[in-house]
Structure 1
Amino acid sequence: MSDFDLTQVPNLRRGFRLQWEPAQGCHVLLYPEGMIRLNESAGAIAVQIDGQRDVESIIRNLSEQYPDAPDLADDVVQFMEVASEKFWIELH
């Protein structure tokens, strides 16, 4: 895992909304200009983003839900880095 700060608290950026989209069969991020389809792993991570939990808590929660998932912490950190770079989330 990188030297990512696990104490950061992610929050969806203003104008973004996460929801389950039955027609797509996945979670999506909606924003004024469009929609981002999330794969199953990204959707499970995004559901944990509430502006209250830090990344470490999100990893802990997901580890309890998916105890057999390999490299879960790395996947969460990678999602946070990509989502931040693409301006889907803010990290505080």
Structure 2
Amino acid sequence: MSIDTPTLASRFRMQWEEAQQAWVLLYPEGMVKLNASAAEILKRCDGTRDVPALVADLETAFDTTGLEPDVRAFLDMARQQQWITEA
């Protein structure tokens, strides 16, 4: 099962953590430190765009192409971890 229009699940909050010098996902049980790629994808999971639009935004922002397979793989993992849900 894939998510067409991903949004961050309500139990998570994403924020820049100065002490970690990284974006993190905060939730009641703890924190997940995100790498730069994961953070850029999750920043765009705001429920306003579908996956093709999210990919297009990333490809424009980073002046590259061919990101869709990696983005979809990450989104599948994020869905399994319950970080994201359908908007």
TM-score by length of 2: 0.89
Partner of 1:90: 85
1:44-82 deviations in Å (ceiling 9; x for gaps): 1111111111111110000001123x6411221111000
Q: Which residues of 2 match residues 56-71 of structure 1 at below 5 A?
A: 56-68=52-64, 71=66
Identity of aligned residues (%): 40
TM-score by length of 1: 0.84
How far, CA to CA, are the matches of 2:28 and 2:78 in structure 1?
17
Q: Which residues of 2 match residues 1-92 of structure 1 at below 5 A?
A: 8-68=4-64, 71-91=66-86
Residues 11 and 51 in structure 1, CA contact (< 8 A), matched pair in contact too: yes
Residues 25 and 33 in structure 2, CA contact (< 8 A), matched pair in contact too: yes
Stretches (4+) displaced over 2 A: none
Give the paired residue count: 87
Instruction: Give the AA of the match of 1:17.
Output: R
How far, CA to CA, are the matches of 1:9 and 1:35 in structure 2?
24
The Cα of 1:5 is off from its aligned counterpart by: 5.8
**Root-mean-square deviation (Å):** 1.8
Residues 84 and 91 in structure 1, CA contact (< 8 A), matched pair in contact too: no
How far, CA to CA, are the matches of 2:2 and 2:82 in structure 1?
18
